[in-house]
Chains A and B, each alone.
Chain A
Amino acid sequence: MDSDEDMETFEVDSGNESSSDDIGFNIEDQNQNPKDRQNDIEEFVFNVLSTEEIVQHMIDCIKEVNIIVEIPATTTRILLNHFKWDKEKLMERYYDGDQEQLFAEARVINPLASRSSQQPSTSSSMSSKAKVSRRCPPNSEECEICFTLIPSNLMTGLECNHRFCTQCWCEYLTTKIMAEGMGQTIACAAHGCNILVDDATVMRLVRDPKVRLKYQHLITNSFVECNRLLRWCPSPDCNNAVKVQHVEAHPVTCKCGHRFCFACGENWHDPVRCSLLKRWIKKCDDDSETSNWIAANTKECPKCNVTIEKDGGCNHMVCKNQSCKTEFCWVCLGSWEPHGSSWYSCNRFNEEEAKEARGAQERSRAALQRYLFYCNRYMNHMQSLKFENKLYASVKEKMEEMQHHCMSWIEVQFLKKAVDILCQCRQTLMYTYVFAYYLRKNNQSTIFEDNQRDLEAATEKLSEYLERDITNENLANIKQQVQDKYRYCDLRRKKLLEHVHEGYEKESWEYMD
């Protein structure tokens, strides 16, 4: 149902140059399943927001509430933040609960209460005691922070009526923002007063553009982080956030091109669910030493022991040693021969063998081996996925070359599409091993493993084809074959995902503890 491609049309960036690349294939896809595509679009809507758009969205949220509730926008912001930007929750409490208590909880003075009735709160008593004896000339006050006589019009404060000079306020806010990284939660400068400083006051009192920028950044960050419907794009150099209508484990694609799961922020990980993936990642981190060993990029030829480095995504290895030339599988180090055939079973861990292990020591070794088995394959697809980026570059070269010969631009796009599908398959395969690791054996899990095996075999074939040299002579032939291969891969991938999703619906998956 939520197959990946359907989301691709969702690229929020309408000016995306690559959108026309897919023309030919869109027609294809629509022929296959026009309804699914339609449904998916209606089901999961998301937007990518730039920093400026996030700020605008925040302002809009405040306005929306202010249309109904007539209180200052600055107060509304603090209230909304208190309710993690859940408007409905705020409204409910505002109209159904004790308003006085609501304002106290949110750390603001009730803006509806008349100002004249308000006395400076007594919490600052310790310092005011010291002040009592000091007599001030008319129209001036002593600032309790700098101990200077200040004209009253330069003294300022929040609704709580704790007044300090503007310069001390500025210094206080600057310290909070720059040294302590506080934004939304800066309290009044008076001792024991927990009334929050609103954003308008901060912007009025702080003039230094560096400090203002940092403050706005902190405010925006807390807005995104506490808002369930927003998530920062996890890509390290990206400042966009994704906004959804409702929270769901669903792939979203940022304008920077990064594609991730909205619910957990990890790379899109269908078919495994967020919670299991989280467990897996934690396990891998805990076992990082063994994982490092697994991730090592070199292996030895199973026959002549020459060290072989993997330099492409394909798992079909041929020993460099000219007198050996053994063909083997990078993953299981077994002979390659059966991998090409229909009884290919590199993906299936032999549970029988594990069962034979006797005694506690052996059992724990079996558990470790079982883990290493799945981890090895998971890491391997991840590694291949990284090499596939190199493939994109070489495919681009090939495409340009082909255009110099007999093919038009649109005719050579099949190569890019093939790499796209290859990457999707690798990513799906990678996460199938996480799913499989936690899966308890039953009838459905056997079907799943069959699907996994088929997809893996098809993916390796496609990968191999893409690493072949394309010449003028074999071009038409290769195009046909590559297209056949990737269509088949795509089909296998969809079958596998559909089957897993169906299992989720029917609750046929059982997990290991």
Chain B
Amino acid sequence: MSALPRRIIKETQRLMQEPVPGISAVPDESNARYFHVIVTGPEDSPFEGGLFKLELFLPEDYPMSAPKVRFITKIYHPNIDRLGRICLDILKDKWSPALQIRTVLLSIQALLSAPNPDDPLANDVAELWKVNEVEAIRNAKEWTRKYAMEN
């Protein structure tokens, strides 16, 4: 593997020095491009009280291409599928090299506060979210309790 670019080194340092409230991102000991991420469920959302594990990987041509992010903790959300893949524009065509790990994680946190069932990735979840939001939110709370609150 080639030497770590200055951008990644600096970005990691700053992330450690000025952490984002509610988010922790720690580089793996053996791979500085791989981050162990924990996002706290935002207040007043069905995910409140949950701790969600994610993995984040910076590809070879980062920051020219977007980081790869995936939920490891199961989550009931219309824009996140069974495999934890996230439907978020800045991770795809709206990616800009001026964005950072920090901004990506903030956007994911915002997505938990404001699910968007009109741009679904998990179709059945999105469907229920549109037809019966009360039940969908109940499901999301239940999943949070079941999968994101062990201890």
Q: Which residues of A are at the interface with B, using a C-beta cutoff of 8 A?
A: 124, 126-127, 130, 133, 144-148, 162, 164, 168, 171-172, 175, 179, 189-193
Beyond A127-B103, A171-B64, A175-B65, whether A191 also contacts B96 by CB under 8 A is yes
- A127-B103, A164-B98 known, 17 other contacts, Cβ within 8 Å: A124-B98, A126-B106, A127-B98, A130-B14, A130-B100, A145-B7, A146-B5, A146-B6, A147-B10, A148-B6, A168-B97, A172-B97, A175-B64, A179-B61, A191-B90, A191-B94, A191-B98
| Residue B102 interfacial (CB < 8 Å) | yes
Determine the chain A residues whose CB is within 8 A of the CB of B5 once the complex forms: 146
Say yes or no: A191 contacts B103, CB within 8 Å: yes
CB distance from B70 to the nearest CB of A (A): 21
Most chain A CB atoms below 10 A, which of B5, B6, B97, B98 = B98
Within 8 A of A (CB), among B2-42: 5-7, 10-11, 14, 18
CB distance from B58 to the nearest CB of A (A): 13
CB distance from B98 to the nearest CB of A (A): 5
Say yes or no: B98 contacts A147, CB within 8 Å: no
Number of B residues, CB within 8 Å of A? 21
Q: Which residues of B are at the interface with A, using a C-beta cutoff of 8 A?
A: 5-7, 10-11, 14, 18, 61, 63-65, 90, 94, 96-100, 102-103, 106
CB distance from B19 to the nearest CB of A (A): 12
Q: Which residue of B lies closest to A191 (CB)?
A: B96
Summarize B's interface: helix, strand, loop or mixed.
loop
Bound: A148/B11 CA distance, A: 11
Beyond A126-B106, A145-B7, whether A172 also contacts B99 by CB under 8 A is no
CB distance from A196 to the nearest CB of B (A): 14
> 22 interchain pairs (CB within 8 A)?
A124-B98, A126-B106, A127-B103, A130-B14, A145-B63, A145-B98, A146-B5, A147-B11, A148-B6, A148-B7, A164-B98, A168-B97, A171-B64, A171-B97, A179-B65, A189-B97, A191-B90, A191-B96, A191-B99, A191-B103, A192-B96, A193-B96
Determine the chain B residues whose CB is within 8 A of the CB of A144 once the complex forms: 98
Determine the chain A residues whose CB is within 8 A of the CB of B11 once the complex forms: 147
Say yes or no: B7 contacts A146, CB within 8 Å: yes
Determine the chain B residues whose CB is within 8 A of the CB of A164 once the complex forms: 98
Beyond A126-B106, A175-B65, A191-B90, whether A145 also contacts B97 by CB under 8 A is yes
Summarize A's interface: helix, strand, loop or mixed.
loop
Bound: A164/B64 CA distance, A: 13
Most chain B CB atoms below 10 A, which of A133, A145, A162, A179 = A145
Beyond A126-B106, A175-B61, whether A189 also contacts B98 by CB under 8 A is yes
CB distance from B123 to the nearest CB of A (A): 28
Say yes or no: B100 contacts A127, CB within 8 Å: yes
Bound: A164/B11 CA distance, A: 17
Bound: A190/B97 CA distance, A: 7
Most chain A CB atoms below 10 A, which of B11, B100, B102, B106 = B100
CB distance from B106 to the nearest CB of A (A): 7
CB distance from A241 to the nearest CB of B (A): 29
CB distance from A127 to the nearest CB of B (A): 5
Bound: A130/B100 CA distance, A: 10
Determine the chain B residues whose CB is within 8 A of the CB of A148 once the complex forms: 6-7
Q: Which residue of B lies closest to A142 (CB)?
A: B10
A-B residue pairs, 3 tightest by C-beta: A191-B96, A147-B10, A175-B64
Determine the chain A residues whose CB is within 8 A of the CB of B106 once the complex forms: 126
Determine the chain A residues whose CB is within 8 A of the CB of B10 once the complex forms: 147
Q: Which residue of A lies closest to B64 (CB)?
A: A175
Bound: A274/B89 CA distance, A: 40
Determine the chain B residues whose CB is within 8 A of the CB of A193 once the complex forms: 96
Bound: A124/B14 CA distance, A: 19
Bound: A233/B11 CA distance, A: 50
Bound: A175/B64 CA distance, A: 7
Q: Which residue of A lies closest to B95 (CB)?
A: A191
Say yes or no: A190 contacts B7, CB within 8 Å: no
- From A147, A172, A192, B6 is in contact (CB under 8 Å) with A147
Determine the chain A residues whose CB is within 8 A of the CB of B94 once the complex forms: 191-192
Determine the chain B residues whose CB is within 8 A of the CB of A190 once the complex forms: 96, 98
Bound: A168/B61 CA distance, A: 12
Determine the chain B residues whose CB is within 8 A of the CB of A127 once the complex forms: 98-100, 103
Determine the chain B residues whose CB is within 8 A of the CB of A171 once the complex forms: 64, 97
Q: Which residue of A lies closest to B99 (CB)?
A: A191
Determine the chain A residues whose CB is within 8 A of the CB of B96 once the complex forms: 189-193
Most chain A CB atoms below 10 A, which of B11, B14, B64, B103 = B64
Determine the chain A residues whose CB is within 8 A of the CB of B103 once the complex forms: 126-127, 130, 191
Q: Which residue of B lies closest to A162 (CB)?
A: B98
Determine the chain A residues whose CB is within 8 A of the CB of B100 once the complex forms: 127, 130
Determine the chain A residues whose CB is within 8 A of the CB of B63 once the complex forms: 145
Most chain A CB atoms below 10 A, which of B96, B102, B103, B106 = B96
